[in-house]
Amino acid sequence: MAVAVALAAGLGACAGSETDTPTLTWYINPDDGGQAELARTCTEEADGRYQVETSLLPRDASSQREQLARRLAAGDASIDIVSLDPPFIPELAEPGFLAPVPEDLQNTEGVVQGAVDSATWDGELVTVPFWANTQLLWYRTSVVEAAGLDMSQPVTWAQIIEVAEEEGKLLGVQGTKAEALTVWINALIASAGGQVIVNPEAPADEVELGMDSPAARAAAEIVSAIGEAGLGGAGLTTADENASMNVFASDEGSFMVNWPFVYPALSAADPAVVEDMGWTIYPRVSEDQEPAPPVGGINLGVGAFSRYPDLAYDAIACIIRPEHQAQYFVTNGNPPSAVAAYDEPEVQEQFPMADTIRDSLELAVPRPQTPYYNDLSLSIQETWHPVSAVDPGTTPAESASFIIAVLRGESLI
């Protein structure tokens, strides 16, 4: 009897703890503490309805994806809110690992187009845009002036290659065998009016590619021209975003395509370079075609196995408020997905290129949205690397047949 009473008391205590404030775990990518700060802010605003705790994911996006995919496949209920890199979203949405986005958060009015596209899968918003990233064309004002190039007009890849060659300078591009290379090639193909996958929502064995196309050949011509002429510098084959930034900051720097993080990074490391630094929209493949800048950033999803999906979406609604996005941009350097956030005085003051970023995000074209994105990206890297060996006559076709073989499970990567 005494045992039964004790047990009942224990159960009562347990039941009591259930009524305590629910804790939402937000799996975040590493940043400068901005997401933890937003978690605190939204916990305060929730006024006891829930509290948000952050949990750190690995540093690079592919490792974050690996961990999340494994845990969600195992039905991990601890994943409430999660910061997701856009290209990997369809892979998690397709098997139902993400809880559906509620009606009130489906409204994408006032959100930059690139972020909306990257948060969508199968015609539906499956995650909520949080911050949006895009690459700009950064240039050394001194080099551009010496070459007499008018940067107020749209710039093509042919023009920047020509200036670099004439001035004996180097271009900051990402030639390493990693995701950065896929980002570059996708932007080139999209800007040439093509697309890597024609029907991204098809099953793996029915996928049709746009790789063996005039657009892909135009992209290959640009890549191989830079590779063959050595315009990317001696380190091009292994150059990631940081390496490109260092090339740009060196005496041989001229142009660079890169994410906005380079501005605060160079401001801290090399103010003299920043004084000589200009920025504009990502270069075009040809004069008569629109540019297609890469888009990145982070969207917020809710784990399908979360115990509090409704509260998680309430917390997301708080996190993504324009003033919070502006605060995150100013403190952590990550651009907002909300158009309104760009008008905040602090943003305009700290990031003189904020308007260019917003314009770029409206033009941005995401990487192929497909559940097989990782296979696709690895296959592109396998066939387009090193860039000095890319042959416009053969590489696009070889790349297409290799991707098909990989997607059908007939070939290893």
Q: Which residues bind other proteins (CB under 8 A)?
A: 62, 66, 69-70, 73, 91-92, 94-95, 97, 176-178, 234-240, 242-243, 246, 371, 374-375, 378, 385-386, 409-413
**Is 183 or 365 the residue whose CB approaches other proteins more closely?**
183
- Name the amino acid, one letter, at 151: M
Q: 344: Cβ–Cβ under 8 A, 6 or more apart, which residues?
A: 322, 323, 326, 330
The distance of closest approach from Cβ of residue 177 to other proteins in the complex, given in angstroms and rounded to an integer, is 4
Q: Which is nearer to other proteins, 65 or 358 (CB)?
A: 65
Q: How far is the CB of 24 from other proteins (least distance, A)?
A: 24
CB of 85 or CB of 375, closer to other proteins = 375
Provide the CA 413 distance to its chain's centre, in angstroms. Answer: 23
In angstroms, what is the minimal distance from the CB of 7 to other proteins?
Answer: 32
User: What span, in angstroms and rounded, lies between the C-alpha atoms of 323 and 340?
Assistant: 8
* CB-based contacts of 141, cutoff 8 Å, min separation 6: 276, 277, 278
238: tokens are 């292994």
Q: Which is nearer to other proteins, 70 or 307 (CB)?
A: 70
- CB-hemisphere CA count at 13 Å for 394? 4
Phi-psi region at 168: left, alpha or beta (left = phi > 0; alpha = psi -120 to 50):
left
Which CB, 42 or 404, lies closer to other proteins? 404
Min separation Cβ 85 and other proteins, Å:
14
Nearer to other proteins, 94 or 290 (CB): 94
Q: Is the dihedral of CA 253, 255, 259, 265 positive or negative?
A: positive
Beta carbon of residue 74, minimum distance to other proteins (angstroms, whole number): 9
> Is 274:267 a contact under the CB 8 Å cutoff?
yes
- Supply the minimum distance, in Å, between the C-beta of residue 262 and other proteins: 15
Phi, psi dihedrals of residue 48, rounded to the nearest 5° = 90, -5
How far CA 208 is from CA of 34, 200, 202, 204, 213, in Å, comes to 41, 8, 8, 9, 12
By beta-carbon proximity to other proteins, the closer residue of 270 and 290 is 270
Closest contact distance (angstroms) between CB of 375 and other proteins is 6
